[in-house]
Structure 1
Amino acid sequence: MLPTGAAAVSSRVCDSDLKISNILSRYPGSTHDSFVWVNSGVRERLMDMWAMGERCWLLGDSGYPHEPWLHTPILNAEEGTLEARNTRYHIKARSAVERCIGLLKGRFRCLLLGRKLEYEPRKACKFINACCVLHNMCVLGGVPYVEDDGYQVIPLQQGVTSMLNEARAVREGIIRRLQN
């Protein structure tokens, strides 16, 4: 499944468990989704598989071209028809990618639209790829996502508290030496 939106910095393929199986973060956010798709290795691989008789496909939104290996919703399907029913199921199934992107951006706030990665493009792409890898690690490890803008105070363990007190004493000693 592929995301949509001019703000998308990359193209992601994910499964229904919200695991990202492919990421393409080569193009700037203003690049149209269909351009990214046409230039992706996933499309090339699916075309090759299709040519060899292997049948599989991805679900994309209406920003992508309808191809044998990439299905898009049927726009303006007449209500009550099989086409409209197919489109409802398509949209429901494809919602996984929207949830995946929301979860990814929620965990890694640097990927939000209002934020900018203030690095040269090649390095920014590495950040995006790293966020996707960490996202998959969180999903596979069952790390819960808590949607909260506040900060959670985690009590320090006893050993950490004593080390913190020792560190403060060392710093105070350094500061006292500066007075001499």
Structure 2
Amino acid sequence: MGPIRGRKKKRKIDNENGVVCGSLEEGSVDWWDQFCKQITGSVSPSKGVDEFELIFKVSRKTFNYICSVVSEPMMAKTTNFAFLNGKSMSLNDQVALALRRLSSGDSLIGVANFFGTNHSTVSQVTWRFVEAIEERGLHHLQWPSTEAEITQIKSKFENIRGLPNCCGVIDTTHIMMLLSASDRTVDVWLDRKDNHSMILQVIVDPEMRFHDIVTGYPGKMDDLSVLQKSCFFDLSEKGERLNGNKLKLTEGTEIREYIVGDSGFPLLPWLITPYQGQELPEIKTEFNKRHFATRLVAQRALARLKDVWRMIHGVLWRPDKNRLPRVILACCILHNIVIDMEDGVLDELTLTPQHDSGYQTEVCDMADNKASVSRDKLALYLSGRLPV
């Protein structure tokens, strides 16, 4: 995560409604008014901040920060992008265009018409932005690096439904694609629902921030297969992750750091899944309820990701499958930036756990014996029945 909260501003902002980034010309307080004039008829500048947030899905404060992050790599190249009237695009214009493309879900032509440019410019500017946010914004998406960070995460998870020493929630979703019948790899991407899709696996903290993602694999792969191909799996199996302080439950009983996931994932010493089966004993039923309530954090995070960055929400028309993983990563970084900036736009969003409509959770039968014992002890502890 980036050092956002409490971060000193490099330049005083005299008008809180102004966008300050890039050069003085680009960052002048009237950029928004000039932008509105550029796309006359599409936006009413009189609506101010609300209209800005509606169009770009971020506040002006966050827009300003994003501009500062991508400024150097985006402006380093000499390509001169322009509107159809010949006016050159400033940094603000380019960031605005890219955010609109990623957040609206509109086609290249739709975004081009909105901005008064051509679709090839929309494509090039968006890709340049994706490269820049990946290059300079990746510090917003990383595993906690300090004990204080991970301690805070564990405390907040325990406050949800009592799960102690929990460090994250893992979940997956499908990014839908409409592929050409002439695509020689078309069958590779056909998933169990007969859709062409790419999988996204995430590990989320209590504030719905992504701390680890894996994407690029065909949607037909199950959760176990994707997990096993991840660096997170290798690091956890080697004891290089989730290897912090163990929590003493009772005398002689400890619980290590772990993440939680649904029944599509394997039960491992560092990955706790729910009990399977019908008519479970009361202790196991109660554990599953707590487990499910905790997992909702990841479901809501993925739903918000797709709802805000709608380019990956619907069905992508013949996407470049080599570039798509980096577009997904850029959307995940932007998702985290909005959280790190404590953006008020989030307050207006409805939280829903629906992110993968039509896909039922598969069941993974892989279970580690030691993990089963640890889960039983955890269930007993949460029920208050663990022997002292």
Unaligned stretches of 5+ residues in structure 1: 149-180
| CA displacement 1:121-149 (0-9 Å, x = unmatched) | 2200000000000000001112223449x
Please state if 1:62 is matched with 2:263: yes
Structure 1 residue aligned with 2:336 = 136
| CA displacement 1:93-132 (0-9 Å, x = unmatched) | 01100010011001111222x3216332220000000000
- Distance (whole Å) between structure 1 residues aligned to residue 268 and residue 240 of structure 2: 11
Structure 2 residue aligned with 1:3 = 171
Matches within 5 A, 1:3-82: 3-4=171-172, 9-49=199-239, 54=244, 55-76=256-277, 78=279, 81-82=282-283
User: How far is 1:77 from its partner?
Assistant: 5.7
Q: CA separation of 1:27/1:52 partners in 2, compared to 1, >3 Å: closer, same or farther?
A: closer
- Distance (whole Å) between structure 2 residues aligned to residue 52 and residue 107 of structure 1: 30
- Distance (whole Å) between structure 2 residues aligned to residue 106 and residue 52 of structure 1: 31
The answer to whether the Cα contact below 8 Å between 2:206 and 2:297 also exists between their aligned partners in 1 is: yes
Helix, strand or coil: the match of 1:2? strand
Unaligned stretches of 5+ residues in structure 2: 1-168, 176-197, 245-255, 351-388
Q: Among residues 310, 326, 336, which one is paired with 1:126 in the alignment?
A: 326
- Distance (whole Å) between structure 2 residues aligned to residue 77 and residue 57 of structure 1: 25
Please state if 1:105 is matched with 2:306: yes
The alignment covers a number of residue pairs equal to: 147
| CA displacement 1:16-59 (0-9 Å, x = unmatched) | 11000001112122221111011111111111227996532111
Helix, strand or coil: the match of 1:92? helix
Q: CA separation of 1:93/1:33 partners in 2, compared to 1, >3 Å: closer, same or farther?
A: same
> Share of identical aligned residues, percent?
24
- Distance (whole Å) between structure 1 residues aligned to residue 231 and residue 278 of structure 2: 31
Structure 2 residue aligned with 1:89 = 290
Q: CA separation of 1:89/1:109 partners in 2, compared to 1, >3 Å: closer, same or farther?
A: same
The answer to whether the Cα contact below 8 Å between 1:74 and 1:87 also exists between their aligned partners in 2 is: yes
Structure 1 residue aligned with 2:151 = none
Q: CA separation of 1:81/1:72 partners in 2, compared to 1, >3 Å: closer, same or farther?
A: same
Structure 1 residue aligned with 2:368 = none
- TM-score, scaled to structure 2: 0.35
The answer to whether the Cα contact below 8 Å between 1:109 and 1:115 also exists between their aligned partners in 2 is: no
RMSD in angstroms over aligned alpha carbons? 2.4
- Distance (whole Å) between structure 2 residues aligned to residue 132 and residue 52 of structure 1: 22
